Structure 1
């Protein structure tokens, strides 16, 4: 039986080089989703490029609280601590989510197909409730976006501690999202150390071998660039090279995996 995989490139619009790499992979049929940092000053000029390809891929919002653009941002450690202590303003976070959704729609021409989070902030306590609220204020009833569930992480990659922490801080996200009527990814992969020494090709082989039907795997490709504002710049070219390779295509064929847009009805079935 052929398995369907939603392979999602995060960070579209973060920079021109990242976005160009993602567009290259979409054109090659090597991605089935990408999520957008709508706060980026590059988003208005890049929206048309991804809109022209929207029949081939899901296009979502990469909700951001940690990457600075024109405004300052707090590090992930801040949101981890404050969310666990419930010391965050849900109303302020809801307004931030609405702002990012609206900026996405302003330039894309419609609402996102799905929502995930930069460094998974969307699934942290309090932040998740603010996001649920924001979505239900913008989307028509019965047409909610699907959500990425980090607590459904199915493979630790090359960093078991990082995986354990992620599952812990995002616990019950999937359950709470489904209770509110959201479709969610039943199996999530793609987490690893994001270091230049990591064996991305080997990890991808492990993820694909273990994934069930309708899995969602994130990736972070981009054209090679010297970008001091991008802490994982050294990894992006390596990911792009492998995903564009014949080896990746042959692996998908061998394992009978087809890249496809997410189908919530197939998960429900």
Structure 2
């Protein structure tokens, strides 16, 4: 919501969702873009820092909690101003919602602002055996999963709705066709799985705000084509909104796994 595309595109997205219901969430952004709040102690030259600066500072417990909280609230305000409703979920650009200080702010704000578990949170924890078996960007998948354990613990304690099972992480390098990667991501999923994708069209607006470009079009071609439907059917899967997954599993918070731990 701190990107100009949100202000320009929210009305179009609303029309699309009215025809094709889908969850629409806040992609919390704490890197590279301009903040919506003063974000004192967090910005550099009026912009949010690169992930290469934010990550080590977060792991050292050095992020300014008040600035993180205020920026989260400002982005939620901006979302609601145009959407006239809370987001269905919250996740993070470059997975920043998993980071120490950020994860506490996310959980606290959701409990304060949306009581009763109205907004679900992306849980990026995936058991190590699944990551290894898929064989796609295994070090990245294991790192993100371990990083996510703190948020998973806080989310469970707060009773927040969360997915159970997370796949889709890869390096975006040319080589292995995206379909082959996606077939791996669709295998061996958890009870309430979320698959992470980045479809899109490359235009001037995207080039101006994001370095991830061409791989988005490859993902879009696959996801909009017949091969995706074929691969879903082969695994006995179908697309669903989060509320359907909750109804199917009969619970909102993800169940504890045998392989537990956290980066705190």
Normalised by the shorter chain, which TM-score bucket? 0.7 to 0.9
Question: Is the deviation greater in 232-241 or in 257-266?
Answer: 257-266
The alignment status of 1:240 with 2:220, answered yes or no, reads yes
Q: In 2, Cα distance between the equivalents of 1:84 and 1:268? A: 35
Q: Match of 1:262?
A: 242
Check whether the contact 2:187–2:235 (CA below 8 A) recurs between aligned residues.
Answer: yes
Q: In 1, Cα distance between the equivalents of 2:209 and 2:73? A: 25
Superposition deviation, residue 72 in structure 1:
1.1
Question: Is the deviation greater in 244-253 or in 107-116?
Answer: 244-253
Q: Match of 2:43?
A: none
Q: Match of 1:87?
A: 62
Q: 1:182 to 1:65 in 2, by over 3 A?
A: same
Greater relative contact order (CA < 8 Å, ≥ 6 in sequence): 1
- After TM superposition, the structure 1 = structure 2 runs for residues 174-253 of structure 1, keeping only pairs within 5 Å, are 174-225=152-203, 227=207, 229-253=209-233
Q: Match of 1:62?
A: 27
Q: In 2, Cα distance between the equivalents of 1:146 and 1:266? A: 16
CA deviation string 1:29-70 (max 9, x = no partner): xxxxxxxxx111121221112222335100000000113247
Q: In 2, Cα distance between the equivalents of 1:90 and 1:268? A: 35
Match of 2:24, SS?
A: strand
Q: 1:127 to 1:238 in 2, by over 3 A?
A: same
Q: In 2, Cα distance between the equivalents of 1:149 and 1:195? A: 25
Superposition deviation, residue 265 in structure 1:
4.2
Superposition deviation, residue 119 in structure 1:
0.6
Superposition deviation, residue 108 in structure 1:
0.7
Higher normalized strand content (fraction of residues)? 1
Q: Match of 1:52?
A: 15
The alignment status of 1:43 with 2:21, answered yes or no, reads no
Larger-gyration structure (1/2): 2
Q: In 2, Cα distance between the equivalents of 1:133 and 1:95? A: 12
- After TM superposition, the structure 1 = structure 2 runs for residues 126-145 of structure 1, keeping only pairs within 5 Å, are 126-139=101-114, 141-145=115-119
CA deviation string 1:157-205 (max 9, x = no partner): 6222212221233333212111111011100111000223343110111
Q: In 1, Cα distance between the equivalents of 2:33 and 2:234? A: 41
Q: 1:128 to 1:158 in 2, by over 3 A?
A: same
Q: 1:228 to 1:199 in 2, by over 3 A?
A: farther
Superposition deviation, residue 115 in structure 1:
0.4
Superposition deviation, residue 228 in structure 1:
5.6
Q: 1:122 to 1:86 in 2, by over 3 A?
A: same
Task: Give TM-score scaled by structure 2 length.
Answer: 0.80
Aligned residues between the structures: 231
Q: Match of 2:255?
A: none
Deviation above 4 Å: which 4+ runs of structure 1?
A: none
Task: Give TM-score scaled by structure 1 length.
Answer: 0.79
Superposition deviation, residue 249 in structure 1:
1.2
- 5+ residue gaps in structure 2? 36-45, 252-264
Question: Is the deviation greater in 248-257 or in 54-63?
Answer: 248-257
